[in-house]
Amino acid sequence: MKKELIFLGPPACGKGTQTNKLAEYFGFPHIDTGSLLRAEIASGSEDGKVAKQFIDKGQLVPVWLVGNVIKSRLSQDDCKNGFILDGFPRSLEQAEMLEEIREHIDGDNEVDFRATYFDVDMDVLISRIVNRRSCSNCGEIYNLKTKAPKVEGKCDICGGELTQRKDDNEETAHARFDTYFRETAPLVDYYKNKKVLSTIDADGSIDEVWERLLKVVE
């Protein structure tokens, strides 16, 4: 049966790290909305220019733009056996849009659809954000406190330069959290009411969180 998984949680809750592992475990794609949008920005398209204005302010990208990108990606052949969706939906409006996208893609086929919420305290999240670095070449994520590179400023995997995203600072982080709790937190109740939601404690080592995640998605 096709498995469709979505992951909810505030910025820096660890969804990206765990869903990359899970995608490899199941053998189907991890669809990272942020990466899709950044690719759109890098292309210099009109949609990318609009997205950049919102992302730089820590605000949500317009729903129509995100919906277009997601629908196109989930329609590709590598998603026909399943996918993991990270970063979408981020509002009730987007959740309803996802239902329409899934109906279009899946038709009457039976699907195992589940949502998982990554629960982490705010102080932990702020620390993760300000200490986060990413490889400019391969995209590998590091944390200066919990997952520091072996050589300062260099990626362990490819040797690329580690950079800090412009919005990975405390001021912008607080703006992102304000947006998250206003727009996205209601999705927890939305999926709980649909009886497809599980919640995991996402504070701990990567391996600890991984074991908790497997228990609710397998």
| Residues involved in catalysis | 15, 90, 132, 165, 176
Q: Are 143 and 128 in contact (CB under 8 A)?
A: yes
Residue 18: closest CA among 216, 189, 207: 207
Start-end of H helices in the chain: 15-26, 33-43, 46-56, 63-74, 92-106, 122-130, 170-179, 186-193, 206-217
Phi/psi at 157 (5° precision): -85, -50
Cα dihedral sign, 209-197-184-83 = positive
User: In this structure, are residues 212 and 201 in contact, taking their beta carbons and an 8 Å threshold?
Assistant: yes
